[in-house]
A and B are shown apart, each in its own frame.
Chain A
Amino acid sequence: MSGAPLRAAPTPAAGCAERPVLRERGQREVFCGLTGIIWLHRKIQDAFFLIVGSRTCAHLMQSAAGVMIFAEPRFGTAVIEERDLAGLADANEELDRVVEQLLARRPDIRLLFLVGSCPSEVIKLDLSKAAQRLATRHSPDVRVLNYSGSGIETTFTEGEDACLAALVPSLPAEPAAADPSLLVVGALADVVEDQFRRLFDNLGIADVRFLPARRAGEMPAVGPNTRLLLAQPFLGRTLAALEARGARRLAAPFPLGAEGTTSWLKAAAEDFGVEPGHFSAMTRHARERARLAVARHRERLEGKRLFLFPDSQLEIPLARFLARELGMIPLEVGTPYLHRAILDEELAALPDGALVSEGQDVERQLDRCRAARPDITVCGLGLANPLEVEGLATKWSIELVFTPIQGYEQAGDLAELFARPLVRRTRLEV
């Protein structure tokens, strides 16, 4: 292992605050926040995401989903047309009509998100007003909220941040006298959520809630006695909104890998006064299992050089895991946006040699990548095949968002995702 110890407690200012960051502004090769709908609509099972946008937005959703969902999905696009722009049709009336049509078709919907896009923002269509208007009309059957997933405002996972931040004001209020409760923030696969719930239960932290909940009517209450753990690193605005409602964040690294998961759980355990002996007894088995599952891939990955293009903001915790638990060497760790406050612990644990870059100029970054010739490159789908053709092994970053990777039981799977492209190369004889 390298770098400073990974700890949940606030780290000394040295290291992270001074780590030089390469800031770039040029062509970005990343999705917009609309893409978050792909996992959010699976997560909240009675919510519908209505994008108010263009044909491009609709096409993005269908292309980025990669595989089309077989059943009718709980998202769609109200495509703005010429008539709406020319003022021949009143855009608000049109929107109301589309929403009527939609709710008539899907009476099972309880929560409707109006999701803003670049076109809706540039023409200044006020979706928060529209949401209020529609909420009054369809109350109490359907709640209507709005947020922006536009590419001019949000990058990829920031769409989830915007969505959850929009949910926060409507969360039920927890009385100030309530016992402390733990709120885990960020969409996780159901299976991961259940694992964490069991772990917290074993630790004796019984009142654990998750945001977002699986159903609109089950969203967690929040108040001054809410302690929150971020499960995802891209939730800056959601965090601010929850803090504004009195919740307090437990600083921790992210639950990637055995070590990351342990530190993350420990942050909660310490705050809830769990005995260290009890903590270690209760997590020992899973910890050990995760360590073994990860170790199986160490031989393949140790000493391999890693280059991450900016995509989901998971890059820094991922690089930390790959460096510390698998012995990989991160060369460049790109992130679309750097939330220093949230990533304090992670940055401190990152090997000193890794260059952190924020923002993007894709052509220059490709130049750096080609010059470095890393053993594995983590990048988006638009770049992967062209880099493979140049002889560079790649890992699609989107898989890291679409598959469950958090927690002890997924640590081995996460390592395997990085080992697989290398294994494949050694097996192929063509």
Chain B
Amino acid sequence: MQLTVWTYEGPPHVGAMRVATAMQGLRYVLHAPQGDTYADLLFTMIERRQKRPPVTYTTFQARDLGGDTAELMKTAVKEAFERFRPQAMIVGASCTGELIQDDPGGLARALALPVPVIPLELPSYSKKENWGAAETFYQLVRALAGPQAPAPGSVTPRDPSRPAGERPSCNLLGPTALGFRHRDDVAEVTRLLERCGVAVKVVAPLGATPADIARLGEADFNVPLYPEVAASAAQWLKRAFGQPATTTVPLGYGATRRFVEEVAALCGFDPALLLAGEPSRLPWYSRSIDSTYLTGKRVFVFGDATHALAVARVAQEEMAFTLVGLGSYSREGAREVRQAAQEAGLEALITDDYLAVEAAIAEAQPELVLGTQMERHVAKRLGIPCAVISAPVHVQDYPARYSPLMGFEGANVLFDTLVHPLTMGLEEHLLGMFRDDFEFNDTAGPSHLGAGHTPPAERSAPEQPGSLPWSTDAEAELRKIPFFVRGKARRNTERYAAEQGVATITVETLYDAKAHFGR
């Protein structure tokens, strides 16, 4: 048993719902009690979807348990088919359904419906949402595209040359319902590929029908946009159809360039022309002198593995931030995250315990947190600026405007996202200059965050028992230091004073410590 307050991922059947809800013409029958229908509101409320998820729940009750829950499942499948006439169905169980062992797949098969019925085995007590989405997508691809695959043994690697006039083509794999910016990422990457002269044949699961899934094998290669969901399906397609897959996720300016180069190599064109010119404003914005103040900002990054890795790279290479923490809740991507952390001289935090993440953030004392909605709460509580860069997210992270994270426009969006929560360049100086002005103190906060912005409380590191006394002057001087480094300054000074055997901390001790630790 694990004590959980907030969770980063739902159960695996919610992952299956994300796939089913993204698609057209598919129905999901879920053996589950009534309370599990809460999952519908994730889609209709948080993502503001206009249709109910295509899910039929059996909603069995205690009184059914002694009797025939299996019959309930059969009726539900039959009625769902008759009412909705889907092209294909998936059937499975939620955590409670799994325990009563009714074999939804076998029951549905016994009905001999005239459409493919794909059983899902999603172990609720060991797996989670993203795994569930990946497994569901993989099972759908195997079941629906499988019949089109060449006989095993006759699969040949794709030949990059093609008849003159015929454009190379690819599939975009992985975008789901309730995905973080998936809608806009798909539009942006499609546009980018168009500019490369590559046609996008099928986007799946987002917007795809079962018939679309069946023709995935027709494209020249696959682009797994979200490896958390698409990796296993892409691997299978490679084995079954000989389709290669790109390995770079175009998140960030550099990654987008590498993605274009990878596509160019797969399709045999020269990327130079496309990459010349001004595909993104990020490089110039980062080089413009107003951005100087971004140098060395201490950031803490946490999210799903794909977004955490990409954003950590953008933060370091494209913003010149300093990474002070990196972690992910997805164990599936732990290896890469560990490696990236190590390269930055850190130890990665791989956990799905939000209290552990909170403790790590408090410890690292970053100036900016880039995380999920959980880290937004933590950062708010600690008074640290924060931007959301990964699922799970909330309703305001589905903006009305076009706001991709991928591709060159995505790099622009990332620049804005990472800079917006911070005090702007010149303004930071002005705040420092007028610190003692009665209207212009640190409780005023940056103007672009609006009058309603509550000023962050001072983050005092927990006072150690027996910590050294501060002279009044030194306390006053400490208050002149910007709030976001004040906690660290206090700790460093006290540590220095303890090491030096200073009895009372004076203004001199403060500056001695500052010189000693540098930055």
Contacts and interface: CB of A to CB of B under 8 A. Distances in A.
Given A29-B37, A54-B124, A382-B44, A59 B14 contact: yes
B34 interface: yes
B101 to A, nearest CB: 10
Interface in B146-203: none
B480 interface: no
A381 B2 contact: no
A123 interface: yes
Given A82-B125, A152-B60, A382 B1 contact: no
Interface stretch (A66-74, A273-281, A292-300, A368-376): A66-74
A33 B34 CA distance: 10
Contacts of A385: 44-45, 48-50
Contact of A27 (B4, B11, B76, B381): B76
A76 B41 contact: no
Interface in A354-388: 363, 380-386
Contact of B37 (A77, A102, A382): A382
Interface string B4-35: 11110111011000000000000000000111
Given A54-B95, A70-B380, A383 B52 contact: yes
Given A79-B4, A152-B65, A382-B37, A55 B44 contact: no
Given A30-B37, A32-B34, A155-B34, A81 B44 contact: no
A68 B6 contact: yes
A97 B1 CA distance: 9
Contacts of B37: 27-31, 382
Contacts of B95: 54-56, 118-119
A75 B6 CA distance: 10
A82 B49 CA distance: 34
B50 A85 contact: no
A28 B61 CA distance: 10
A27 B124 contact: no
Interface residues of A, number: 63
Contacts of B39: 59, 63
Interface in A277-327: none
B346 to A, nearest CB: 26
Interface residues of B, number: 54
Contacts of A222: none
B126 A56 contact: no
Interface string B345-389: 000000000000000000000000000010001001100000000
Interface in B52-71: 52, 56-62, 65
Given A27-B59, A81-B125, A151 B34 contact: yes
B94 A78 contact: no
Contacts of A80: 1, 125
Contacts, number: 182
A101 B60 CA distance: 34
Nearest to A71: B381
A33 B35 CA distance: 8
A62 interface: yes
A363 B34 contact: no
Nearest to B83: A363
Contacts of A76: 3-5
B7 A62 contact: yes
Interface centre among B9, B60, B95, B99 (most CB of A within 10 A): B95
A380 B38 CA distance: 9
B123 interface: yes
A152 B33 contact: yes
B96 interface: yes
A191 interface: no
B94 A56 contact: yes
B42 interface: yes
B128 interface: yes
B36 interface: yes
Contacts of A98: 1-3
Contact of B125 (A34, A85, A155): A85
Contacts of A26: 59
A206 B59 CA distance: 46
A417 interface: no
A352 interface: no
A60 interface: yes
B40 interface: yes
Given A122-B65, A153-B62, A60 B50 contact: no
Contact of B34 (A28, A52, A62): A28
A402 to B, nearest CB: 14
A84 interface: yes
B83 to A, nearest CB: 6
A323 to B, nearest CB: 28
Contact of A78 (B2, B6, B123, B381): B2
Interface of B: 1-7, 9-11, 13-14, 33-42, 44-45, 48-52, 56-62, 65, 76, 79, 83, 94-96, 99-100, 123-126, 128, 373, 377, 380-381
Closest 6 CB pairs of A and B: A32-B35, A382-B40, A151-B35, A151-B33, A381-B41, A118-B96
12 contacts: A27-B37, A27-B58, A27-B59, A28-B57, A56-B14, A76-B4, A79-B4, A84-B1, A101-B3, A118-B35, A152-B62, A383-B52
Given A76-B3, A78-B2, A386-B50, 19 more contacts: A27-B56, A30-B34, A31-B35, A32-B36, A55-B4, A55-B9, A56-B95, A68-B373, A77-B4, A78-B1, A82-B125, A98-B1, A101-B3, A102-B3, A122-B96, A381-B44, A382-B38, A385-B48, A386-B51
